Amino acid sequence: MFKGVMRTVGAFAVAVGVVASIGVAGPAGAASGDKNDINPKPVSALKKGGTFVPVVVDLCPQFNTSQPAGNLLNCSQVMDTLLPHAYYFDSSATHQWDKNWVLGAKFTKVNGKPTVTYDLNPEAIWSNGRKFGLKDFVATWTAKNGTNTAYENTSKVGFEDVESVKKGANDDQVVVTYKKTFADWRALYGAIYPAELAATPEFWNKGWLTGPTVTSGPFEFVTIDKVARVTTVKRNPKWWGDGPVLDRIVFKALPQVAQIDALLNGEIDYMDVGNDPSGAARARGSDKLRVNVATAPLHEHLTFGSGSTPPTQDVRVRQALMLSLDRRLIAKTIQGPIMGDAAIENNNHVFLSGVACNQDNTGDLGKQNLPEAIKRLEAAGYTTVGSDGIRSKGSQRLTMNLIYPSGNVNRQNTVLLVAAQAKAVGIEVVPTIIPSGSYFVAPNVTSWPNNKYDVALFAWSGNNFPISSVSNLHKLGSPQNHGQIGSAQVDALYDRANNIFDAKKRCDLANQADKLQYQAVHSITLFQRPNAAAMNKKVANFGAFGFTSVDWTKVGFTK
């Protein structure tokens, strides 16, 4: 069985899990067992062959998904069919080993040091014929542990705590030894990269810009066509696992405004309507389509970048902006048509709805409070109110640019609501549209220090190991902390949470850190989005995966 792990929109770190041999607790804040919604069918009920055409928002600019420019959903969707994964999450969001590559693992202590022993599938190979094994585990660790900063990465969490990666009892066993406890040790090797990719920092950073050169999966890379705007993979004839049902998968890039028409016309087989209520309504009105919905670790937010506009650097201004917003009204307006009464504001950066340890961490900033917002602006020196209602401090106008991608009506409406509400307290939020193809490229929404925006609207996609992955978004010095908003105290709390196994204590520590980050207004969480998938009714074993994984070998069309 092959299970790709669909992840990122600008993503959290990827997670893996195992059953520990010495009673180590499961992941703190794991999914609470929500089901997926994927039209499950046995392979015997499916037509053999065919081409599945899912839509993506844009072509992938970098197929190394650990490199900042490749840390995008449209990249991971393609690479999930082409890279080894140590694990998957089944239909109840429970971890299982993906035995195509990793038969199992055992956690022990050797000479007092945490040690994980992986047993590998001896049949696993790469597309160049080389055996999958130790070299790839070593190369992935070497490129991602932060020791050589020439390797550009979105995260070094976990890998920085590894002391060594060595051969075990035989060629099909890898032993990973840690310097200290890393509670989410299961979170390493969610994607395992070929040694060839990590041979040099230069190749790691630029070698896969136009496509992966070495892969290992049920499909193999064919081409990226920048004219037709499609990326194609085909069945891998050397695949040793259960053969895929499909002959090909063609990932077609279309702006969101064009996707629903393409789906209704049969040009594509699948689209995400979680951020497109109009598209969802039109899909539900078609007898040829279906809409699947599942709770998912995906949330919309306003994040502060490294922009040069002075007001966004003042915590009192960021607090005032949050206090000016009626986040529940925004959630109801934007997500109500899809989620109904379940559309509410999100009050936790770490533990979303459907995840254990969820609680409200917003404190006194969680609800709209215009008088308090004004009070904090005046404390920051913005006491003069102009004829247009916008405040200023001396010659400094209280203005900030809020960027959002083109072709997305929902995000445009969100930005307009934010701008209107902020103006009530004298903050000028300037809606700034960015072409969707340039949105996740410097100087826009990209890793620190390469971004130059003031505020941006986008979504983070999480996973079943939220503490270690979310800590990467909040720790100072991390490239995924776009605005470098945080503190040594927050870093220390996350370090402690990542270095103990007690699940309750880990949750408590992460929530303490999150409360501090809300007061610092690291970002303004708006609402959690569901996985809402519209697709051809005949598509089986694909749809809204929530906290679970896609098995690309089982995706197909009913007879």
* Tens-digit pLDDT profile for residues 405-461: 998 889 999 999 999 999 999 999 999 999 887 888 888 888 888 888 999 999 988
> Across all residues in the chain, what is the average pLDDT?
90
Q: What is the pLDDT of residue 18?
A: 20
Q: What is the pLDDT of residue 30?
A: 53
Q: What is the pLDDT of residue 29?
A: 54
For 479-503, write each residue's pLDDT tens digit. 889 999 999 999 999 999 999 999 9
Q: What is the pLDDT of residue 19?
A: 20
Q: What is the pLDDT of residue 14?
A: 27
Q: Which two tokens stand for residue 338?
A: 């899809």
Least confident range of 279-288, 311-320, 359-368, 463-472:
463-472
Q: What is the pLDDT of residue 27?
A: 55
Beta bridge partners of 528: 299
Q: What is the pLDDT of residue 31?
A: 53
Q: Which two tokens stand for residue 258?
A: 């064009």
| Sole residue written with tokens 């009626």 | 326
Burial 161-175 (b: 16+ CB within 10 A, else e): bbeebeeeeeebbbb
Q: Which two tokens stand for residue 527?
A: 């609402």
Span 470-474, mean pLDDT? 90
Beta bridge partners of 431: 402
pLDDT bucket at 306, cuts 50 / 70 / 90: confident
Span 527-532, mean pLDDT? 90
For residues 431 and 402, the answer to whether their CB atoms sit within 8 Å is: yes
Question: Of all helices (H) and strands (E), which one includes residue 303?
Answer: strand 289-304
For 24-54, write each residue's pLDDT tens digit. 334 555 555 457 899 999 999 999 999 999 9
The sign one gets for the Cα dihedral 335, 341, 342, 344 is positive
pTM: 0.84
Domain 295-529 fold is: Dipeptide-binding Protein; domain 3 (3.10.105)
Q: What is the pLDDT of residue 34?
A: 57
d(CA 6, CA 2): 13
Answer with the residue of higher pLDDT: 435 or 123. Answer: 123
Spacing of C-alpha 147 from chain mean position: 24
pLDDT bucket at 354, cuts 50 / 70 / 90: confident
Span 112-121, mean pLDDT? 96
For 138-197, write each residue's pLDDT tens digit. 999 999 999 999 999 988 889 999 999 999 999 999 999 999 999 998 888 989 999 999
DSSP per-residue letters across 396-460: EE-EEEEEEETT-HHHHHHHHHHHHHHHTTT-EEEEEEE-HHHHTSTTSS-STTS---SEEEEEE
CA–CA distances in Å: residue 70 to residues 110, 303, 410, 446: 37, 19, 24, 10
Is residue 7's pLDDT more than 70? Answer: no
